[in-house]
Amino acid sequence: MGIIGFGAFGRLIATHLGPHFGLCAYDPAPSAPMPGVAPVDLATAAACPIVILAMPVGAMEETVRAIGPHLRHGALVVDVGSVKMLPAEIMRRGLPDHADIVATHPLFGPQSARDGIRGLKIAICPVRGRRAPRLAAFLRKVLGLDVIMTTPEAHDREAAMVQGLTHLIAKVLVRMEPLPSRMTTRSFELIHQAVGMVRGDAPEVFRAIEMSNPHSAGVRRRFFDLASALDAELTEG
C-alpha cells in the first residue's frame, strides 16, 4: 500500500494498517521516519496495488495528475478527505479508467482516535469499480469500524452541518479564550472537550470543510441568521 501525504492523518493510517499491509509513503515535506513504513518517491508510492491519497483537498488535483501515469492496471485509489463531491470528481476525471476509485471519509482524526479506532465511523462512497463492498468488509470486520455506505452528494449534505457547525463554533470559541475552567457545568465541559478535539486540525481541514463543500455556505448562513434573530429577540427584551 502506498500512502501519498504522510502528515498526521497519513501516520494514523499507517499505525492501524501496518499490521495488515506492507507500507510505503511519499510526502513532499518528509517528516520523521516511522518504523515499518518505507519512505519512497511519488512514482513508487503510486505504483502500489492500493494507493491512499492523504493530502489536503486543495492539493488533490495536482497529485492526481502526477500519479496517473504510474498507476498499475487494477489499482485501487482511495482518498480520505473531509469533503467528498469535489475529490470524487477530481479522481473520476483525472485518473485512468483502469483504476478503481473509492472516496472515503474517516469521521475521526488523531485526537478522537487516541484510544483506538474500533467503533468509530467511516463513510464509504463508491466512485468507480466494484471493490467498495470488499473495502467496507475489511474496515468493518478487521478494523472494527462502523461503515456508512453513502454517495458523495449525501455525505456532503450531512457533513456541512455535522462538521461545518462543529468547526465553526470551535473557531469562535477559540477566539473567545481564555474560557472558564474552574466553575463549569458538565455541558460546558463537553463543549470545551469538543473544541479541543478539532483545534489541532490543520487550517486546510477547516478551509476544505467550509469552502470545498457546496452545502456549507447555506448551513453557515442559516446558523448566523438564526443566531442574529435570537440576539434580536433578547435585545428587545
- DSSP string of 8-57, one letter each residue: HHHHHHHHHHTTTS-EEEE-SS--S--TTEEE--HHHHHTSSEEEE-S-G
What DSSP designation does 59 have?
Answer: G
Q: Cα–Cα distance between 42 and 66 in angstroms, integer?
A: 8
Residue 235 confidence (pLDDT): 96
Angle at 159 between CA 174 and CA 16, to 5 degrees: 85
- Regarding whether 132 and 219 lie in a shared domain, the answer is no
Q: Cα–Cα distance between 132 and 110 in angstroms, integer?
A: 24
- Regarding whether 183 and 129 lie in a shared domain, the answer is no
For 65-93, what is each residue's pLDDT tens digit? 999 999 999 999 999 999 999 999 999 99
Residue 30 confidence (pLDDT): 80
- Regarding whether 196 and 118 lie in a shared domain, the answer is no
- Regarding whether 79 and 15 lie in a shared domain, the answer is yes
Domain count, the chain: 2
Residue 237 confidence (pLDDT): 80
Inter-CA distances, 213 with 26, 82, 226, Å: 27, 9, 21
Query: Strand 121-128 relative to strand 100-106: parallel, antiparallel, unpaired?
Result: antiparallel
- Regarding whether 211 and 129 lie in a shared domain, the answer is no
Domain boundary among 151, 182, 206: 151
- Regarding whether 75 and 16 lie in a shared domain, the answer is yes
- Regarding whether 128 and 71 lie in a shared domain, the answer is yes
3-state secondary structure of 178: coil
- Regarding whether 221 and 141 lie in a shared domain, the answer is no
Domain boundary among 100, 134, 151: 151
- Regarding whether 107 and 79 lie in a shared domain, the answer is yes
- Regarding whether 31 and 140 lie in a shared domain, the answer is yes
Q: Nearest to residue 90, comparing CAs of 62, 125, 50?
A: 62
- Regarding whether 159 and 56 lie in a shared domain, the answer is no
What residue ranges of the chain have pLDDT lower than 50?
Answer: none
Domain boundary among 131, 151, 171: 151
Could you tell me the residue range of the domain that residue 19 belongs to?
2-151
Within 10 A of 169 (CB to CB), how many other CB atoms are there? 15
Residue 201 confidence (pLDDT): 83
- Regarding whether 131 and 55 lie in a shared domain, the answer is yes
User: Tell me, what CATH number does 93's domain have?
Assistant: 3.40.50.720
**173: Cβ contacts below 8 Å, ≥ 6 apart:** 179, 191, 195
